[in-house]
Amino acid sequence: MEQHRHHRRTRLFASVGSAVACALLLSACGLWSEDDEPEPAPTAASSISCAPQGQLAASGSTAQQNAMKHWMREYQQACPGVKIRYVPIGSGGGVSQFLRGATVLGGTDSTLEPEEVEVSREVCRGGRAIDLPMVGGPIAIGYNLGGVENLVLDAETLAEIFDSKIDTWDDPAIARLNPGVRLPSAPIVAVHRSDESGTTQNLNAYLKGAAPDAWPYAAERAWQAKGGHSAAGSGGVASQVRATEGAIGYFELSFATADDITTVRLDTGAPDPVAVSARTASAGIAAARVSGTGKDMALEFDYRTGLADTYPIVLMTYVIVCDTGNRPEALPALRSFLSYTASTEGQRELARLHHAPLPEKVAAQVRGVIGTLS
């Protein structure tokens, strides 16, 4: 936990030079360059309620980059008077820039720490920064094992695989979950991220929550388990799994789809093993509870859920904004844009992008908070 807090304290002061430079001259950071204008795309008649004009500077999580690109394109096509730029510099940089006043919206795949909320009071005059869930990312467990198409694993077995305690595919623990399946007596090549990431953090959180006796590690962004192989980025892990017989790794569902990697079904205690998909991940979000206070909507996942068709390994990405104290010149556009992203229309296309849309109950709560931003 101390290591985690040190990392989060560090991000308070990360990218200081670039954040200050952006605050003074946003165009220098590429936020307002017309060369970056999203290409318009044909769209159905929109019900977006537009702000007449405005400029929104935003930055942060790469996990929500594709969703932001889609939302920006659709919104600006309907509302040409508003200009939006989202710079995908990572969650730490996005939080840092927001807390330094360089942006009016940050994107992050981990919620704000209490010390970051306190710092935000300097930017959100009379208020504080809040987390609003906006898009989920299903984290797939992908594998490469010739002849095995429907592998089932549970949290404890996954924990022991990634901690090098189970190292062959015909281990009795795996065989028990896959009766009638011919498992080879081949070594398991477990692949994890070499860089710090929200994907790792969320897998750690799932294993810690669902199999605490088998996974002694904290929900950190850095990998801590023993042994295994590593690769940089979700793309690197997916490539190594795809190229290596006997490999298993974790990455966003979009990488499994793009590389045609077979994915594990999870035995969660539900009537049937749960496959990873946008739909089952949305059900996982629905099973979470709001743990934030006031208008903050940080979510706490139920990693032990046994509900049918509910996939529990989900990377939840948030937007951070001021509850009170937003810049008056940006507020109408901010409320308009976020009302669209949290709307049924805004969430509808996310599954096509391999994201998990917010379940309507959560989306309605988010829209309610957006309507109160001031």
Secondary structure of the chain as H, E, C letters: CHHHHHHHHHHHCCCHHHHHHHHHCHHHHCCCCHHHCCCCCCCCCCCCCCCCCEEEEEEECCCCHHHHHHHHHHHHHHCCCEEEEEECCCHHHHHHHHHCCCCCEEEECCCCCHHHHHHHCCCCCCCCEEEEEEEEEEEEEEECCCCCCCCEECHHHHHHHHCCCCCECCCHHHHHHCCCCCCCCCECEEEEECCCCHHHHHHHHHHHHHCCCCCCCCCCCCCCCCCCEEECHHHHHHHHHHHCCCEEEEEEHHHHHHCCCEECEECCCCCCCECCCHHHHHHHHHCCEECCCCCCCCEECCCCCCCCCCCCCEEEEEEEEECCCCCCCCHHHHHHHHHHHCCHHHHHCCHHHCCECCCHHHHHHHHHHHCCCC
What angle is formed at CA 21 by the lines to CA 17 and CA 27, rounded to 5 degrees? 145
Q: Which two tokens stand for residue 355?
A: 């994201």
- Are 17 and 120 members of one domain? yes
Q: Which two tokens stand for residue 185?
A: 């007596």
Instruction: Confirm whether 229 is domain-assigned.
Output: yes
Domain count of the fold of the chain? 2
Task: Calculate helix-pair angle for 360-370, 331-341, nearest 10 degrees.
Answer: 170
Do 59 and 106 contact (CB within 8 A), yes or no?
yes
Q: What pLDDT sits at residue 16?
A: 40
Q: Of the candidates 235, 257, 283, which is a domain's last residue?
A: 283
Q: 249 — phi, psi (to 5°)?
A: -160, 180
Q: What pLDDT sits at residue 11?
A: 53
At 242, which CATH number?
A: 3.40.190.10
Q: What pLDDT sits at residue 197?
A: 84
- Are 96 and 214 members of one domain? no
CA distances from 308 to 157, 206, 270 (A): 20, 17, 5
Instruction: Confirm whether 305 is domain-assigned.
Output: no
Instruction: Confirm whether 313 is domain-assigned.
Output: no
- Are 251 and 343 members of one domain? no
Do 200 and 225 contact (CB within 8 A), yes or no?
no
**pLDDT, tens digit only, all 374 positions of the chain:** 433 444 444 455 444 444 433 433 333 343 333 233 333 343 444 689 999 999 999 999 888 999 999 999 999 999 999 999 999 988 889 999 999 999 999 999 889 999 999 999 999 999 999 999 999 999 999 999 999 999 999 999 999 999 999 999 999 999 999 999 999 999 999 999 998 888 999 999 999 999 999 999 999 889 999 899 999 989 999 999 999 999 999 999 999 999 999 999 999 999 999 999 999 999 999 999 999 999 999 999 999 999 999 999 999 999 999 999 999 999 999 999 999 999 999 999 999 999 999 999 999 999 999 999 99
- Are 85 and 200 members of one domain? no
Q: What pLDDT sits at residue 25?
A: 31
Instruction: Confirm whether 98 is domain-assigned.
Output: yes
Q: Of the candidates 262, 283, 304, which is a domain's last residue?
A: 283
Q: What pLDDT sits at residue 62?
A: 84
Question: What does the alpha-carbon distance between residue 154 and residue 264 come to, in Å, rounded to a whole number?
Answer: 9
Q: What is the CA radius of gyration of the chain?
A: 21
- Structure-derived torsion over alpha carbons of residues 148, 152, 158, 161, reported in degrees to the nearest 10: -30
pTM, to two decimals: 0.84
- Are 270 and 158 members of one domain? yes
Do 131 and 297 contact (CB within 8 A), yes or no?
yes
Do 129 and 112 contact (CB within 8 A), yes or no?
yes
Instruction: Confirm whether 300 is domain-assigned.
Output: no
Instruction: Confirm whether 299 is domain-assigned.
Output: no
Domain, as residue range, for 110? 9-38+48-136+318-370
Instruction: Confirm whether 34 is domain-assigned.
Output: yes
Q: In terms of C-beta density within 10 A (0-12 exposed, 13-18 middle, 19 or more buried), how is residue 12 classed?
A: middle
Instruction: Confirm whether 297 is domain-assigned.
Output: no
Q: 144 — phi, psi (to 5°)?
A: -130, 100
Question: What does the alpha-carbon distance between residue 270 and residue 298 come to, in Å, rounded to a whole number?
Answer: 26
- Are 52 and 186 members of one domain? no
